[in-house]
A = this chain, B = another copy of it.
């Protein structure tokens, strides 16, 4: 049995993670930590867990004791907090899966620029492993520190990596127009996600300036073996959860939708959590509550553009589910353990 602790257990990502961990057949939750509810029972705060998770919450400051009783520590914290907490000593005691953004970028200077603060632990960036299992499985299995990708990044990377690997993009710019449910903004109170402000409304935000941009560019460029520029526009959509990303890539003239589909189907045919749809377009409610990502392949001959659409649940495959998937890999468990209703075949 894998003993785990969760820091930041009261946010939306934390709650989803606890829900998955409590149902995982190989996991025991050792401790739940938080900032403001020390001493309260988890199920008192969140009645959906009555009779299931009646643990009292610990304060984050107890983390250094806690890790000595654990195999894996999950961090679901605001940016900056994880990197302030993790050091070699901690990593010698426990394997860390960080659901935040502190260990995703390889260059501290990029972090400093996009997050507008000096990275608290730049020397750890090299040893952190980017936790996108479908494209980095081997390295994750050996990692002590896994940087779980952002929710947008997961959607976009799963949608675009096959094209990058094939060197199919004619230009160095890709455009991604993404739509997210409101849970992506977290549980902290703020006017834009007050019910009446965002209900019955769609808007773009952080146009061409969202912090997942450099993370996506980094991974695309590494796969394409050349610079890739991302023009990324996230939108807020009135629903609780789900991300849909619509990616536009200019291709060589000779491309066909059949070739493209084959490329994706070959790439993902053994993946338990990525499904290339044959004809339907992805809908976020089809993946809600699952660790699945649905992808559809379209090609517009009139403009020579591929339109790749991906959908996933931002709280599951975009966060907590992928973190559990990474934990499975790090701990040598079957990759789908605790994430599927029935055991499915994992890639050989």
Contact = CB atoms under 8 A, between A and B. Distances in A.
Interface in A281-295: 281-290, 292, 294
Contact of A281 (B181, B204, B289): B204
B246 A204 contact: yes
Q: How large is the interface on A (under 10, 10 to 19, 20 to 34, 35 or more residues)?
A: 35 or more
Contact of A194 (B189, B233, B237, B239): B189
Interface stretch (A65-73, A135-143, A297-305, A327-335): A297-305
How many subunits of this chain does the assembly comprise?
Answer: 4
A341 interface: yes
A231 B300 CA distance: 8
Given A50-B275, A246-B204, A235 B179 contact: yes
Contacts of A177: 177, 233, 246, 248
Contacts of A198: 195
Contacts of A181: 200
Given A190-B189, A248-B231, A300-B208, A287 B195 contact: no
A307 interface: yes
Interface in A144-181: 173, 175, 177, 179, 181
Contacts of A266: none
Contacts of A173: 303, 305
A298 B208 contact: yes
A284 B202 contact: yes
Interface of A: 12, 19, 22-23, 46-48, 50-52, 173, 175, 177, 179, 181-183, 187, 189-191, 193-205, 207-208, 229-231, 233, 235, 237-242, 244, 246, 248, 272, 275, 277, 280-290, 292, 294, 296, 298, 300, 302-303, 305, 307, 309, 311, 340-342, 344
Closest 8 CB pairs of A and B: A23-B341, A201-B285, A208-B300, A177-B177, A203-B283, A189-B189, A182-B195, A48-B286
Given A47-B283, A204-B246, 6 more contacts: A179-B202, A193-B195, A200-B239, A201-B239, A201-B285, A235-B246
